[in-house]
Amino acid sequence: MKIHKRYISALVALLFAVPAVAQVPAPAPKQSKPVLLKGATLHVGNGQVVENAAVGFDNGKITYAGPQSGANLSGYEVVDVTGQHIYPGLIQPNAALGLNEVESVRATIDWREVGEMNPNVRSVIAYNTDSDIIPTVRANGVLMTQVTPVGGTIAGTSSIVQLDAWNWEDAIVKADVGMHLNWPSMLIETGNRQADERLRRMAEEREKTMLELDKLFREAAVYKSGKHDSQNLKLASMTGLFDGTQKLYIHANYGKEMIEGVNFAKKHGVKEIVVVGARDAVAVADFLKANNVSVIYSGVHALPSRAEEDVDMPYKTPYLLHQAGIPFALDYDLAIHGIRNLPFIAGTAAAYGLDKEQALASVTLNTAKILGVDKQVGSVEVGKDATLVVSAGDLLDMRTNNVTHAFIQGRKIDLTDKQKFLYEKFNTKYKDQQQQVPAGATSSSAGK
């Protein structure tokens, strides 16, 4: 018994001896009083820009957005942001944020389920609000994301969450907005003696997958009609595809795959279709437009898909999609740690043809429309959620982006994150060392 107590005492002492490290900030409390931001340039998100503007919000909703001269200051806590810029909170679509923390630690990876056909999987219930990555993306103005499952042929459903909550239930903005279908690839790498055999096996596997998909969608349509004797969770989870309450997100990049996937969905009566990835979207723009298909374009900061393409093709694709009249949003599709760069891919698109406000819309209002949450978020307009950011510089320019305030549903967000904590920690260390260098000594000699 004495040994047991001794070990407990040692453990307690060790815990108190460990220095404090950066933790994910606690979620902000509900807005308690009306707030009015004044003096900034307002970028509404729908293409409009208001100089010397004011934005007021109460109980989490925007009550005023317009010229400062028309704002009623009575009863508001006024925050002077003169010379800064107000933007809608940015929205990252198609992300495993909160589902994957440390790739080398299996227990922190929860973005896919076992098996190929998992329409009943709900990714949002695995969403981790305590992820260390979340504060780092909020610091650059990304305040919402589409939590998306990965892997298999049908990965499951995605949900829209805001990035400041105690748990996944509190985080939900709109649950189970769409089903994610990874379209079977038509392409395979060749260049070796086994190429023919690999192609043959691939063709067989693809044909098998296509038959399984066709069967599943036909059965789901019958289930939707009510012609069934027992409950089937997989089929029940797909019924929204046939009445337009749920969208089908087809993940495909190759032009023929996009056409095949859309035609497949249309054949089975799917009402709302979005293509994700869409590297070849410009090549099949007429087809996409004719079928009212929206696009979540991935890979702005990427190399061209083909050797014959212009080297800047990924950069100018957003502009070409806009010119073609295709509804589109931008997605930072690389490592989830890079989601904080979402505003900068919009900035790149602006440098390669898009108007600056059109580029902003591609990561705010356009995304909200495609995800089906534009009535709540995506622009700074009266009646919508007060989910917005204030930046001392251009939010889309990595040289001047400097988020000074962020609000989610009217709640003021703590912009502290792990990187900032480490910066302050080591900045203090080296400042202290610099001050300890004796007068007349150089820093290099002091280091010796």
Reported as a single tens digit per residue, the pLDDT across 41-93 is 999 999 999 999 999 999 999 999 999 999 888 899 999 999 999 999 999 99
d(CA 363, CA 329) in angstroms, rounded, equals 6
Binned at pLDDT 50, 70 and 90, residue 338 comes out as confident
Tell me the average pLDDT across 373-395.
97
φ/ψ region of 309 (left if φ > 0, alpha if ψ in -120 to 50, else beta) reads beta
What would the DSSP string read from start to end of 331-398? Answer: E--S-GGGGGGHHHHHHHHHHTTS-HHHHHHTTTHHHHHHHT-TTTSSS--TTSB--EEEESS-TT-T
Residue-level pLDDT at 231: 86
User: What amino acid is encoded at 276 in this protein?
Assistant: V
Tell me the average pLDDT across 304-310.
88
d(CA 401, CA 360) in angstroms, rounded, equals 13
Tell me the average pLDDT across 91-96.
94
Binned at pLDDT 50, 70 and 90, residue 447 comes out as very low
- For the cut 50, the answer to whether the pLDDT of residue 188 exceeds it is yes
- Element holding 17 (H helix, E strand): helix 2-17
Query: What are the structural domains, with CATH classification, of the chain?
Result: 25-88+379-415 (2.30.40.10), 90-377 (3.20.20.140)
- For the cut 60, the answer to whether the pLDDT of residue 379 exceeds it is yes
Reported as a single tens digit per residue, the pLDDT across 248-257 is 999 999 999 9
Residue-level pLDDT at 2: 45
Reported as a single tens digit per residue, the pLDDT across 247-295 is 999 999 999 999 999 999 999 999 999 999 999 999 999 999 999 999 9
Least confident of 194-198, 212-216, 244-248, 349-353: 194-198
Instruction: Note the Cα 442 to chain centre separation in Å.
Output: 48
- For the cut 70, the answer to whether the pLDDT of residue 244 exceeds it is yes
Instruction: Tell me which residue has tokens 């806590």.
Output: 77
Residue-level pLDDT at 437: 66
Collapsing DSSP states into helix, strand and coil, what is residue 281? coil
In a 10 Å sphere around its CB, with 0-12 CB exposed, 13-18 middle and 19+ buried, how is residue 95 labelled?
buried
- For the cut 90, the answer to whether the pLDDT of residue 430 exceeds it is no
Start-to-end CA distance of the chain, whole Å, equals: 51
Tell me the average pLDDT across 366-392.
97
Reported as a single tens digit per residue, the pLDDT across 123-180 is 999 999 999 899 999 999 999 999 999 988 999 999 999 999 999 999 999 999 999 9
Residue-level pLDDT at 279: 94
- For the cut 90, the answer to whether the pLDDT of residue 13 exceeds it is no
> How does the average pLDDT of the chain come out, rounded?
88
Least confident of 238-242, 345-349, 430-434: 430-434
Residue-level pLDDT at 334: 62
Of the candidates 77, 84, 80, 71, the one whose C-alpha atom is nearest the C-alpha of residue 43 is: 84
Binned at pLDDT 50, 70 and 90, residue 190 comes out as low
The proportion of the chain whose per-residue pLDDT surpasses 90, expressed as a percent, equals 68
